[in-house]
Amino acid sequence: MSLSLSTLLENPAAAAFGAAGLACQLIWPLLKRRKAMLGVQMGIGSNYGIQYATLDAWSGAAVCALGASQTAIALLAGDRPWLRKLGLAFLPILFTSGFFTWSGLPTLLALSACSLIMIGRLQKDTLRLRQFMLASVPFGMSYDLSVGAAPALIGSCVSLAISLFALRRELRNRAARNSGRATEQSRNQLTMTFRKGGAYQTASTWAR
């Protein structure tokens, strides 16, 4: 299916769900908390999954449905490692669905993008989560281009720029926090040194 305005005009449902997915896709990189990120990402999977289904892009629809389900588990996992590991069980399911909905290059691109996204969602560290998400973008953009999912493709382009900005912001904030901790540690060490020095001088005075 070609990537054109006529595609969206002929299928308004695809346009509507694609727009909803696009909104979620543009919002999540700006969030700072993992739970909030994952919650909005579940909206991406749900809306784009329906969009792909209305475009008869069943590989993408199946992948998005699996992704939304895995996101729900990642949200529920919290500090329970066994539940977080359960999220890895979605990878073989993902590849099995790809096998049964195989359509060549589009399926391969969808599997690559979703595999990276699924692994990223299982990361507790938001920085690593962002890195995996960024790594998936080229594959997702190529898939959207191949099936004519215009809103998803536009969202991927804009989301890439926002994600890079958010990643840079997080790296800068972490560097500032680490610098602050180092300064605080140095200050504490100096304080302890002065206290020890004062105690030594006091002891020497009493010894005299």
**Residue 132 pLDDT exceeds 50:** yes
Q: How far is CA 117 from CA 12, 24, 47, 183, in A?
A: 28, 15, 16, 37
The per-residue pLDDT for range 145-176, each reduced to its tens digit, is 887 777 667 777 887 888 888 888 888 888 88
pLDDT band at 197 (very low <50, low <70, confident <90, very high): low
Neighbours of 182 (CB within 10 A): 10
Cα distances from 29 to residues 26, 52, 62, 163, 172, in angstroms, run 7, 22, 24, 5, 15
Residue 137 reports pLDDT greater than 50: yes
Give me the residue spans of the domains in the chain: 5-172
Q: Is 117 exposed, middle or buried (0-12, 13-18, 19+ CB in 10 A)?
A: buried
Nearest Cα neighbor of 67 from 24, 25, 100, 38 is 38
If one compares 191 and 134, the residue with the highest pLDDT of the two is 134
For the ranges 16-20, 45-49, 82-86, 136-140, which has the lowest average pLDDT? 82-86
Instruction: Check whether 203 has a pLDDT greater than 60.
Output: no
Tokens of 166: 């958010």
Task: Tell me which residue of 31, 49, 48 sits closest to 40, measured CA to CA.
Answer: 31
DSSP tag of 33: S
Q: Is 83's pLDDT higher than 60?
A: yes
Confidence of residue 193 (pLDDT cuts 50, 70, 90): low
Output the pTM of the full model.
0.65
DSSP letters for 55-89: TT-HHHHHHHHHHHHHHHHHHHHTT-HHHHHHGGG
Residue 3 pLDDT grade (very low, low, confident, very high; cuts 50, 70, 90)? very low
What is the token pair recorded at 62? Answer: 């199946």
Query: Average pLDDT of 3-15?
Result: 69
Percent of the chain past pLDDT 70, that is, above it, reads: 78
